[in-house]
């Protein structure tokens, strides 16, 4: 399936001409995987065998993840490879401006400044900030680089802003964090799907084909979102919840299920612990009370509970909508309680899962990019885990630092002066961190900021040294998709002339820091061999996975603890990896979001994605696709807009206690009247994160991206600009291959 197919191009026009004969090229087909979302769609690149030039990409017709489908982001991804904005030389700041420099000069400077900071203030004054777009090999190497080469405990990644709430809840309830603990195929087998705070139609578009298959079999779908999104339109029921109240909704549903005897008592007795405390906790969560908190009508709540409770097989899936809150962990636990009480987890076509976002959001969090973890999902505070990893790394255990600071706290430590030198590789926190105005000031005030990126990001613009990084198709490596399937991204093209791969950069810096011997890998495959060994015996055990096995099986699901082990598509069939083999219920009680609307800031603000752009936008704002959505739009209900004097296509200024931002107005009857939605893909004065609240979840340190209080007012500004993109009939699913599948049958409207 992944094999390189050699074939000769012999176009009709070429035949017969000697000159063209000579140019007959041997073309190669190389299978890789999309760099954007966590579906990990397989794509095939055709490469000129003589020149190495990439001639084109198309979705892989047979790979089981996407079977010939891809979305418009996947289609646009290859434009990055030879984009004119690519950074081709290192940049060093001189006299306030970034100027081109030679590689050796830039690398020497970076190492020298880090060594200076380290000897003056200690290694903990250095930090590493990274992201889930990187391959698992790079994540592994960077985690090791921070601890072994730089010697600092302070390494974390943007997954803290993404998956950390679900990750903590999964660990607490099931003993392990794999986003989907069942294969994607199971989703198509469900009779009821509950989609909580996910707009998969725009964020994981290809997954919609699995939902649609379930629906075609008669499955009932419940969508929980404060907007009637294209995802919610696939649903039979839309529950337009008030932002930040999903926990109350889940408890209310469980209350009804208990009352109506729709819980699975034999499953609860055999496979779980702690149900009685949860039953008690949901006792007061009557439909009337829950309706008052969530805004979801009582009868809809009861109807939804019955749909879920009576379905033979049901899956509950959460997205960032319900997770990115200061009560994110408890909210996910509340939905897990529902899945456990109805006996779903560990059964075919059933279960609970979180929809991982970034291409390698899963692999990144497994192999050592988190401040508290070592490879294989090992705790950095566990003595046996430390010994195992120290042995693989060939260093004394005492040299592995302890737990470091979480992402937002790492950035805040740049502001307080605790961190003086930061190394950013694979993230753009000047746009994507909460309360970004402050974060930009903190980053700008550092003694020494180094950024590695293929494009000059807003964070790179603040740096002292910028190193041109490679893109996904320029370096081989594995990624783990949202279902826990380890995939191999093959290298399709060489980096542009002047650019080094991320791995080469880490190796060159390690040498200069005196740690070269620990980073002496001759290939990515060698890094993978090391990480396999480091993961052996851990929860995310990759020890039985090899590149050849991935190619043979179209991906391998972890855990895969031995060479002859086939991998584990569906987990928990025989038990949970907890001390007693049971899943744990956790009683949770609703508490309001950290910030509520008040007179000066009367609206809820929520933030999220549109299909045309990816995350901080540093990659996608440059692509042709951006013409379809060139500037950020604030979605607001027409009645709310009228009261505030806001008009379609004109500008609005939003203000929160933290800052302000400008957006063009898009009227939408599909959003709650008390809430406005803005996309996150811009920085500067269009930055959603100028407004957001950095209140953190006490357990996982997730910021409250999804709800804060704002006011909105008309702003001066031209009515020109990109205009409001119109939505194609049938919604964005129209970009998927089988348009025929797209029907909507929503039964409720937004209040
Ligand atoms: N096109 C595109 N695709 C992407 C990305 C991208 O940037 N662009 N990013 C990738 C990444 S990293 C991630 S993490 C995923 C994220 O994927 P999603 O979780 O699907 O994305 P969001 O748009 O952040 O949020 C989903 C929905 O939550 C709703 N929402 C907001 N607040 C609440 C609330 O309090 N409760 C409930 N129930 N719903 C709420 C919003 O209206 C929104 O429709 O997408 C991945 N895929
Ligand atoms: N308000 C609000 N804020 C949010 C969210 C939200 O919903 N609301 N969502 C949060 C979530 S879920 C996430 S995941 C974060 C993500 O936020 P960021 O981490 O800022 O996301 P990206 O834009 O993917 O940043 C990746 C950077 O690395 C570069 N890059 C990509 N691939 C490579 C590579 O292989 N090598 C190198 N060297 N560089 C590479 C890209 O050009 C880009 O500049 O944002 C969070 N911020
Ligand atoms: S669904 Fe995700 S992985 Fe597939 S093509 Fe689109 S962005 Fe890429
Ligand atoms: Mo994410």
Q: What CA–CA distance (Å, rounded) separates 374 from 140?
A: 9
Q: What CA–CA distance (Å, rounded) separates 535 from 550?
A: 17
Q: Which residues of the chain have pLDDT under 70?
A: 1-25, 717-751
Atom 6 of ligand 3, residue of closest alpha carbon: 71
Count of CB atoms situated within 10 Å of the CB of 68: 14
Ligand 3 binding pocket mutation candidate from 39, 359, 482 (most atoms within 8 A of CB): 39
- Ligand 1 atom having least distance to the Cα of 671: 42
Count of CB atoms situated within 10 Å of the CB of 727: 10
Helix, strand, coil abundance in the chain, percent, nearest 5: 35, 20, 45
Q: Which two tokens stand for residue 445?
A: 């005030």
pLDDT score for 2: 52
Q: Phi and psi for 650 in degrees, rounded to 5?
A: -90, 175
User: Terminal CA-to-CA distance of the chain, rounded, Å?
Assistant: 49
Alpha carbon 648 to chain centroid distance? 31
pLDDT score for 368: 87
Count of CB atoms situated within 10 Å of the CB of 217: 11
- Nearest to 443, CA basis, from 467, 472, 478, 419: 419
Integer CA distances (angstroms), 745 to 86, 262, 398, in order: 45, 26, 60
Q: What CA–CA distance (Å, rounded) separates 528 from 138?
A: 10
Atom 8 of ligand 3, residue of closest alpha carbon: 74
Q: Which two tokens stand for residue 41?
A: 């769609």
Q: Which long-range contacts (CB under 8 A, 24 or more apart) does 615-618 make?
A: 615/358, 615/428, 615/432, 615/680, 615/681, 616/427, 616/428, 616/431, 616/432, 616/457, 616/458, 616/680, 616/681, 616/683, 617/431, 617/681, 617/682, 617/683, 618/428, 618/431, 618/453, 618/455, 618/457, 618/458
Quick one: which H or E segment has residue 76?
helix 72-76
Q: Provide DSSP, 406-467.
A: -HHHHHHHHHHTS--EEEEES--HHHHSSSHHHHHHHHHT-SEEEEEESS--TTGGG-SEEE
Atom 31 of ligand 2, residue of closest alpha carbon: 426
Contact 675, 621 (CB under 8 A): no
Contact 651, 716 (CB under 8 A): yes
Q: Which long-range contacts (CB under 8 A, 24 or more apart) does 263-271 make?
A: 263/309, 263/341, 263/342, 263/343, 264/341, 264/342, 264/343, 266/343, 267/340, 267/343, 268/340, 268/341, 268/343, 271/340, 271/343, 271/345, 271/346, 271/575, 271/576, 271/582, 271/583
Please count the CA atoms within 13 angstroms of the CA of 301 that sit on its side-chain side: 27
Ligand 3 binding pocket mutation candidate from 33, 35, 36, 67 (most atoms within 8 A of CB): 36
Q: What CA–CA distance (Å, rounded) separates 124 from 236?
A: 52
| The total number of residues written for the chain in this structure | 751
ω into 559 cis (within 30 of 0): yes
Ligand that comes closest to the CA of residue 70:
3
Q: Phi and psi for 466 in degrees, rounded to 5?
A: -120, 130
Is 357 near ligand 2, meaning CB less than 6 Å away? yes
- Ligand 3 atom having least distance to the Cα of 37: 2
Q: Which two tokens stand for residue 741?
A: 């599948």
Specify the residue for token string 């943007």: 158
Contact 55, 27 (CB under 8 A): yes
Distance 164 CA to ligand 4 centre (A): 10
- The C-alpha angle with vertex 150 and arms to 149 and 151, in degrees rounded to 5, equals 95
Specify the residue for token string 């950069």: 505
Q: What CA–CA distance (Å, rounded) separates 392 from 389?
A: 5
- Ligand 1 atom having least distance to the Cα of 198: 20
Quick one: which H or E segment has residue 478?
strand 477-480
Q: Which two tokens stand for residue 58?
A: 């198309």
Please count the CA atoms within 13 angstroms of the CA of 560 that sit on its side-chain side: 24
pLDDT score for 723: 57
Contact 429, 439 (CB under 8 A): yes
Contact 630, 722 (CB under 8 A): yes
pLDDT score for 25: 60
Q: Phi and psi for 494 in degrees, rounded to 5?
A: -75, 150
Is 205 near ligand 3, meaning CB less than 6 Å away? yes
Ligand that comes closest to the CA of residue 194:
1
Cα dihedral sign, 729-731-737-741: negative
β partners of residue 339: none
Contact 423, 404 (CB under 8 A): no
Residue partners of 28: CB distance under 8 A and separation at least 6: 4, 5, 6, 46, 47, 49
Distance 158 CA to ligand 2 centre (A): 7
Distance 329 CA to ligand 2 centre (A): 22
Q: What CA–CA distance (Å, rounded) separates 161 from 615?
A: 11
Ligand that comes closest to the CA of residue 223:
1
User: 230-251: b or e for each residue (b if 16 or more CB lie within 10 Å)?
Assistant: bbbbbbbbbbbbbbbbbbbbbb
Distance 357 CA to ligand 1 centre (A): 8
Is 321 near ligand 1, meaning CB less than 6 Å away? yes
Distance 310 CA to ligand 1 centre (A): 28
Distance 358 CA to ligand 3 centre (A): 10
Integer CA distances (angstroms), 174 to 96, 129, 161, 377, 484, in order: 51, 28, 22, 14, 15
DSSP class of residue 312 equals S
Atom 2 of ligand 3, residue of closest alpha carbon: 37
- Ligand 1 atom having least distance to the Cα of 162: 14
Quick one: which H or E segment has residue 386?
helix 383-393
Ligand that comes closest to the CA of residue 354:
1
- Ligand 1 atom having least distance to the Cα of 73: 1
Q: Which two tokens stand for residue 294?
A: 């969530």
Distance 749 CA to ligand 2 centre (A): 33
Contact 311, 191 (CB under 8 A): yes
Give the distance between the most distant pair of CA atoms in the chain. Answer: 85
Quick one: which H or E segment has residue 590?
none
Is 680 near ligand 2, meaning CB less than 6 Å away? yes
């Amino acid at each position: 399936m992944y094999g390189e197919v050699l074939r000769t191009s012999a176009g009709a026009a070429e035949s017969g001409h000697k000159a063209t004969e000579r140019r007959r090229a041997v073309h190669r087909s190389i299978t890789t995987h999309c760099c954007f979302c966590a579906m990990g769609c397989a794509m095939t690149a055709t490469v000129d065998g003589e020149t190495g030039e990439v001639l084109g990409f198309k979705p892989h017709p047979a790979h089981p993840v996407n079977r010939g489908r891809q979305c418009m982001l996947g289609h646009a991804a290859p434009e990055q490879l030879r984009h004119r904005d690519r950074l081709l030389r290192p940049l060093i700041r001189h006299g306030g401006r970034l100027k081109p420099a030679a590689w050796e000069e830039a690398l020497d400077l970076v190492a020298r400044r880090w060594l200076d900071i380290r000897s003056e203030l200690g290694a903990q004054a250095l930090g590493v900030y990274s992201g889930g777009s990187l391959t698992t090999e790079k994540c592994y190497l960077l985690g090791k680089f921070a601890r072994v080469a730089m010697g600092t405990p302070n390494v974390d990644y943007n997954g803290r802003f993404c998956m950390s709430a679900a990750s903590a809840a999964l660990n607490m309830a099931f003993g392990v964090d794999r986003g989907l603990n069942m294969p994607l195929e199971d989703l198509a087998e469900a009779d009821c799907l509950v989609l909580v705070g996910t707009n998969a139609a725009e964020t994981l578009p290809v997954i919609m084909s699995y939902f649609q298959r379930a629906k075609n079999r008669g499955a009932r779908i419940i969508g929980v979102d404060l907007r009637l999104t294209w995802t919610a339109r696939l649903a039979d029921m839309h529950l337009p919840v008030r932002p930040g109240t999903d926990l109350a909704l889940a408890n209310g549903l469980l209350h009804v299920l208990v009352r109506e005897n729709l819980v699975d008592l034999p499953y609860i007795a055999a496979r779980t612990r702690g149900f009685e405390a949860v039953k008690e906790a949901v006792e007061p969560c009557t439909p009337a009370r829950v309706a008052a908190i969530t805004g979801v009508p009582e009868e809809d709540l009861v109807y939804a509970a019955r749909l879920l409770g009576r379905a033979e097989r049901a899956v509950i899936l959460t997205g960032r909508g319900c997770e990115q809150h200061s009560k994110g962990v408890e909210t996910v636990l509340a939905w897990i309680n529902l899945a456990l009480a109805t006996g779903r987890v560990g059964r075919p076509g059933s279960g609970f899962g979180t929809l991982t976002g970034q291409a390698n959001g899963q692999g990144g969090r497994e192999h050592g990019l988190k401040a508290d973890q070592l490879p294989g999902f090992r705790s950095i505070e566990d003595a046996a885990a430390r010994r195992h990893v120290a042995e693989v790394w060939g260093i004394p255990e005492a040299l592995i630092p302890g737990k470091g600071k979480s992402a937002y706290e790492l950035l805040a430590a740049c502001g307080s002066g605790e961190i003086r030198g930061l190394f950013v590789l694979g993230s753009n926190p000047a746009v994507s961190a909460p309360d970004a105005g402050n974060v930009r000031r903190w980053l700008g005030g550092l003694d020494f900021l180094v950024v590695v990126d293929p494009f000059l990001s807003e964070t790179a613009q603040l740096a002292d040294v910028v190193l041109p990084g490679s893109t996904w198709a320029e370096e081989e490596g594995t990624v783990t998709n949202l279902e826990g399937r380890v995939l191999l991204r093959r290298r399709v093209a060489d980096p542009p002339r002047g650019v080094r791969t991320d791995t080469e950069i880490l190796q060159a810096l390690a040498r200069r820091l005196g740690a070269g011997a620990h980073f002496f890998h001759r290939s990515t495959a060698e890094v993978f061999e090391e990480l396999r060994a480091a993961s052996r015996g851990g929860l995310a055990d990759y020890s039985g996975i090899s590149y050849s096995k991935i190619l043979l099986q179209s991906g391998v699901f972890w855990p895969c603890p031995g060479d002859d082990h086939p991998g584990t598509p569906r987990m928990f069939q025989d038990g949970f990896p907890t001390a007693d083999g049971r899943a744990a219920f956790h009683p949770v009680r609703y508490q309001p979001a950290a910030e509520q609307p008040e007179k000066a800031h009367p609206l809820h603000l929520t933030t999220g994605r549109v299909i045309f752009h990816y995350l901080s936008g540093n990659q996608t704002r440059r692509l042709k696709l951006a013409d379809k959505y060139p500037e950020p739009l604030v979605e607001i209900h027409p009645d709310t807009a009228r009261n505030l004097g806001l008009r379609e296509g004109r500008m609005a200024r939003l203000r929160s206690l933290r800052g302000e931002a400008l957006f063009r107005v898009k009227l939408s009857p599909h959003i709650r009247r008390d809430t406005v939605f803005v996309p996150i893909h811009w920085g500067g004065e269009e930055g959603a994160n100028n407004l957001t609240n950095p209140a953190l979840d006490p357990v996982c340190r997730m910021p409250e991206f999804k709800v804060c209080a704002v006011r909105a007012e008309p702003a001066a500004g031209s009515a020109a600009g990109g205009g409001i993109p119109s939505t194609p009939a049938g919604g964005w699913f129209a970009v998927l291959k089988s348009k025929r599948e797209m029907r909507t049958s929503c039964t409720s409207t937004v209040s």
